Structure 1
Amino acid sequence: MKPASWLKLLKDSNHAVGTQPTSGADGVKIAVLRKDLAGLGFILAAAHRLESSMHTKIGKRIGVNLSDRIVVAEIASFKEIQHLIILTFLLIMFMIVGPYFTLFRVYKGFSEVPLFFRIFLAFWYIGASQFLLEWLWSMFGKEIITISSDSLKHRRTIFGFGLARAFDKEEVQDIRASGYFEPEKPIKKYSKKFGLKLGAIAIDYRACA
Structure 2
Amino acid sequence: MSAWLVGWFSGEARAIEELLSPDKKTPQLFMAVWLIGWTIGGIFAFGAVLWQLVGREVISITSSALEHRIEILGIARSRIYRIGEIRNLRAAEFSTNPFTSQTAWFPSVVGSGFGPVAFDYGARTMRVAPSLEEAEAKLLVERLSAHLPRNASAI
Identity among equivalent pairs (%): 26
TM-fit CA distance, 1:101: 1.9
Given candidates 42, 62, 73, the residue that maps to 1:128 is 42
Higher relative contact order (CA 8 A, sep 6+): 1
Query: How do 1:154-165 residues align onto structure 2 when only pairs under 5 Å count?
Result: 154-165=68-79
Q: Partners in 2 of 1:164 and 1:110 — Cα distance?
A: 48
Give the aligned partner of residue 117 of structure 2.
201
TM-score calculated relative to the size of structure 1: 0.46
* CA RMSD after TM alignment: 2.5
Where do residues 39-188 of structure 1 align in structure 2 (5 Å cutoff)? 87-108=1-22, 113-181=27-95
In 1, the alpha carbon distance for the partners of 2:90 and 2:81 equals 14
Give 5+ residue unaligned stretches, structure 2: 98-114, 124-155
Gaps of 5+ in 1: 1-86, 184-198
Aligned length: 106
Question: Displaced runs of 4+ in structure 1, greater than 3 A?
Answer: 109-114, 180-183
Query: Whose strand fraction is larger, Structure 1's or Structure 2's?
Result: 1
- 1:3-14 equivalences under 5 Å are none
* TM superposition score normalised by structure 2: 0.60
Instruction: Give, in whole Å, the separation in 2 of the partners of 1:157 and 1:110.
Output: 44
